Amino acid sequence: MTVLEHASDQTGRADEAVGETTDRWSYVIYAIVFAVFAGQVYYQAHGISKHMLALADTHKELQFLLYPSLLWMGMGLLLLVFRTCVWMFYRPFPAIDRTTAPPLTVIIPAYNEGAMVQNSIESVVAADYPRDRLEILVVDDGSTDDTWRYIREAADRHPGLVTALRHDRNRGKRDALALGFRRARGDIIVTIDSDSVIERNALLAIAGPFRDPKVGAVAGKVLVYNRRKGLIPRMMHVRFVLSFDLVRSVESAYGNVFCCPGALTALRASAVRPVIDRWLNQKFLGSRCTFGEDRALTNCLFDTGYNTVYQRSAVVHTEVPEIYSKLCKMLIRWDRSYIREEIQFARIVWKRPLLTRAIALFDRFVNNMRYPVYYGCMALVGILAWQDPRMILRMMVAMGIVSLANMIYFIRSERSFDFLYGVLYAYFSWFALFWIFPYALFTVRARSWLTR
């Protein structure tokens, strides 16, 4: 080792040590700030609880709503404490080394994506991964626009690396992925949506967790590609950061990431191949399932005994809707899939290890109870406001404080004032998206993709 290399190595280690120290101190600061917010949340919640208990005493007919709501609030706080403790200690898995990187296949399914599919392909081509162990399969699922032209041009630019595959008609994303799964030669299969681009180190990073033979799938970190193009993408960016860096990092601790996203997921090929047919032909209430393929495949892996984890250092940027109508269509599709796969997971969870099963059951119970509690609270707010109009202001303030407390998690991941969009999303969701879940529930058998 030369003097220059030695100095560089020492500097790198020093920087790493400083980074670890700064990281520890940042947690202390966040804990203090979080405690202050928690105190405010308690103050507001205490006032609301007093009103709810008083209402229960005077209106016995409302007790069936009031007491379960208070119980859920307590359980939700317990879950939040658990998540915070686990989140504080989450660290990404070490990336795989180039010299030991296994054969890897990337599958990009595309339908009427236009020029964006080219960006997706080129981001994979530019990724840091040994070329002799990388295969890129791009599947055109019967597009009616110029998507196939862009795919063919990419295959011509990168012969031997990019392979263009095509369906004669639109068969759905599952069929497009299944074609790729059956053609893939890699030990690891990575799926990337055609409206997404990965960062350069994403492939080496996402291959790292497969050192553990129990890992069947790895979820990457999804950020918003078009985050600067409007209010909705900015709000969704904050929601994505919280969904991945908080929720999935906690789920990863017990090997139970409930949904490994289509935007960026790595799969153990030997785990996927035995479940392809079952996953491809999945039905729900007699109707063939056409969306929610990512969570459905995650459930299949749980069913066969594999764990799923989250890799924060494997980053993908994906496009999200920029207008309200398209956002609603996306969320309806997600909620329909959520309902279907929650029912499926309720059957599978009993096969999970004891500790994982206990945590998963508690997590899913609290999460799913939020829907009846949410709509019950909307009714209660109306009743409380009728008696005391100040309750509306109290609820709005409490909502803002709770959302600000959640933004501590966002600021840990991204130190920017964009956290304000997360606060705004809390109000936006309450007033503009409250109808999404009931509509998805009553139309759960629908097969339409909606955004295509």
- How does pLDDT run across 248-306, given as a tens digit for each residue? 999 999 999 999 999 999 999 999 999 999 999 999 988 888 889 999 999 999 999 99
Q: What is the mean pLDDT of residues 77-86?
A: 83
| Nearby residues of 107 by Cβ (< 8 Å), 6 or more positions away | 137, 138, 139, 177, 180, 181, 184, 189, 190, 191, 192
- Going from the C-alpha of 347 to that of each of 343, 360, 409, 417, the distances in angstroms are 7, 12, 32, 42
Q: What is the mean pLDDT of residues 424-432?
A: 94
Task: State the pairing for strand pair 134-140/104-110.
Answer: parallel
Q: What is the mean pLDDT of residues 344-351?
A: 95
Q: Cα separation of 219 and 359, whole Å?
A: 19
Burial (CB < 10 A; 0-12, 13-18, 19+), residue 299, is buried
Q: Cα separation of 174 and 167, whole Å?
A: 12
Report yes or no: 127 and 157 within 8 Å, Cβ to Cβ: no
- For 115-162, write each residue's pLDDT tens digit: 999 999 999 999 999 999 999 999 999 999 999 999 999 999 999 999
Structure tokens at 191: 């799926």
The CATH 3.90.550.10 portion of the chain extends over 98-351
- Tell me what pLDDT residue 393 has: 78
- Tell me what pLDDT residue 379 has: 73
Options 3.40.50.2300, 3.40.50.1470, 3.90.550.10, 3.40.50.1240; CATH for 98-351 is 3.90.550.10
- For 307-324, write each residue's pLDDT tens digit: 999 999 999 999 999 999
- For 157-198, write each residue's pLDDT tens digit: 999 999 999 999 999 999 999 999 999 999 999 999 999 999
Name the pTM for this structure.
0.86
- For 200-244, write each residue's pLDDT tens digit: 999 999 999 999 999 999 999 999 999 999 999 999 999 999 999
One-letter amino acid of 350: W
Average pLDDT along the chain: 85
Report yes or no: 106 and 203 within 8 Å, Cβ to Cβ: yes
- Tell me what pLDDT residue 219 has: 98
